[in-house]
Structure 1
Amino acid sequence: MPLVIIAIGVLLLLILIMKFKLNTFVSLIIVSFLVALALGIPVMDVVGSIESGLGGTLGHIGIIFGLGAMLGRLIADSGGAHRIATTLIGKFGAKRVHWAVLFASFICGIALFLEVTIVLLVPIIFSIARELKVSIVKLGLPMVTAALATHAFLPPHPGPTAVSAEYGASVGMVLIYGIIVAIPTCIIAGIWYPKIAQKIVPTAFTREGSESFGVKKEFKLEETPGFGISVFTALFPVILMGFGAIVDMVQPALGFGDNGLVIFIRFIATSSTAMVLSVLFALYTMGLRRKIPMKTLMASCTSAVNALGMLLLIIGGGGALKQVLIDGGVGDYIATLFEGTAMSPILFAWTVAALLRICLGSGTVATLATPGLVIPLLATMPDVNLALVALATGAGSAIASHVNDAGFWMVKESLGMNLKEAFGTYTVLSTIVAVCGLVFTLILDLFV
């Protein structure tokens, strides 16, 4: 009955939040306790499972989220975000600025985790939205589409990289195929779907977003930093992490071992280190270089972090719910459903990853758990394109982001939507990314 228990848990969560107006974090923790008990987790282990899920989620994103918020606020408070927004509007035009957002988010998303991309770009999206007097959601959806697609399809993200190794697929080919699949997927989900969503949940497109990220200062363009240095500062963590990813991809091909330089590059390219260096760099380029006192810069950093408290707790609550589902054996139960299947390996990998994602919440966990169920089937089919199987696994792991996914709460809270609006926009959008990913992978399978 695990799937029934999950369905009842999700329904209860919606009732607590929407009908009884209970705080989202409190609701998540209550449902996590009840679901853990219903799944048969020993009473003495329930608290440990919840703490592990909450701590593991915040341990992964806490540093990144906090420093990313500081970096975004430094760029915004200095006028750098205003400069970027004004320039993009001028280059692309007000009617096509969502294409600029999609393009910029895709470039950032190649090297950055989904949550880092969102944290870095939200202040810039805010500035563009305010300049054009449009809803943050209208521009936020192309951003999260690109971030999700790159996270699901493209190495060096942990899911696609790890699953490529599990299947024995070439990481380089997964990257090439992933880009081919991701581009049309992003256009459909990030450009076309928001036009439909505006009719389904019109109230979402009246939102101004979370005060945690918004900066309401007025700037004269001549008083802001230049476009080049503003973009370079915003992309500095992308550059550092991207450099590390290139080294990881080139090293096996050239056959040289780890040395001091490689180790140093990997150190500065880790997400936490890159964010520390990026904040220090922003303090100089956005502040000290422009004769802004350190006290003023630290006030910006403090205000950015002070506004994140409840948002971080909600994201951690989503991680707690995810962990009790994992510890409750939901993944093992799903494994039994697919014993003895004769399905196409690409479709099978996508289906398993999709079901795991819906039930467990974490796309990365779904991606990493899928090969154990798919590899036995691959052993009977020697001509399968392993890179496409890896890509299908990533596509399935993007489907139907909802209340047990920390990323769902991040998108909902940062764009200032209620639950109904988040379901009608991000949940549907993530499903479109997953389905398009599968369709384009199957089409690609006809030609390669």
Structure 2
Amino acid sequence: MEKFSIVISGGGSTFTPGIVLMLLDNLDKFPIRKLKFYDNDKERQDTIAQACEIILNEQAPEIEFLATVDPKEAFTDVDFVMAHIRVGKYAMRELDEKIPLKHNVVGQETCGPGGIAYGMRSIGGILEIIDYMEEYSPNAWMLNYSNPAAIVAEATRRLRPNSKVLNICDMPVGIETRMAEIVGLESRKEMNVRYYGLNHFGWWSSITDQEGNDLMPKIKEHVQEYGYVTDIGDDQHVDKSWNDTFLKARDVYELDPTTLPNTYLKYYLFPDYVVNHSDKEHTRANEVMEGREKVVFGEAKKIIEKQSAKNCKFHIDEHASYIVDLARAIAYNTQERMLLIVENNGAIENFDSTGMVEIPCIVGSNGPEPISIGKIPQFQKGLMEQQVSVEKLVVEAWIEGSYQKLWQAITLSKTVPSAKVAKDILDELIEANQKFWPKLG
């Protein structure tokens, strides 16, 4: 069986160890000959890389391993680029969240002004990685799950339209894991779903089991009372703030009980609630820095100190198995049905054909083939048209260096109450992002 070479771009991420463990757990389905880490922060990457190298030596010493900050070394001789970068790291995420909250506007890393700020930082970083891949391994595929995925996907559509890039998100996977638990299934893979929307902005319209039995009534009954809160849940979304997000899904569901909503819709449909329940001095970024960051880097240092990963507290990121499924679909032409962020091109009949929509696709060696959704209801269509315009304006602002278009994008966000508030937030975000954004005129 052919073995593959992979580079994880964002090698210093706290999610990297979980992805490595997930790859090791799937070697029988997706064999690896070489695994590389690439990051532009050598110090941060070195800690994660040294710990992961010890794990690899213990579990699969035959896999060649390299961690580097040199693009040529990283991207030469690779079959897949797995990209999860965070330009500006958590220090900038904290500002993305706290600057809007000062103005009583949702402070969130992918939604509203914070997501727009993050998108303006991410576009250049993602394009750089695509260009490295195409220069050094032109036949490789990039599996991109860097946030904010909607803005990044629109940027790749506009600026690298012929690149072999697949934009994906694990949030629906996490929710589907909970749905499977609600109906008593072993795995989300036992469900067939129909889903449509934009990234972090979508709805399930049908969920059946493999025999075709309708699972929606039982899931709806649970969501109506508990949202997506379950006994077990998934191992990624465990903090108190996530529990509130899963619970709030019951209120989002009430707006349209014919569908089941993505949890992120709470930020657009209940922004006043979100702001009132936010701690302006201690946001999600602080939770992550005090929690996940410390735990992961602390555990990595213990592994390096002991020179052994036995009994380490790293765990497989089950949600990341989606990435292996996607890589396998490309490598082995499995024709698996998966949710991807793709150009609409008529899949949603009554929606912008150039919008980057999140819908089921059949995935094989030539990439994704979107499944036709047909017409969607006016409520969802209206929300999506507003939000897709935000995403397009952000990318246009980045391309043109346009202050005006970025102001328009923030004003158009459903999380922002007025153009005046949008301008005040934008001016502060420009000041905070001087090192990362193109100059705006």
- Larger % of helix: which? 1
Q: Same fold (TM over 0.5)?
A: no
- Larger % of strand: which? 2
The normalised TM-score by structure 2 is 0.25
The normalised TM-score by structure 1 is 0.25
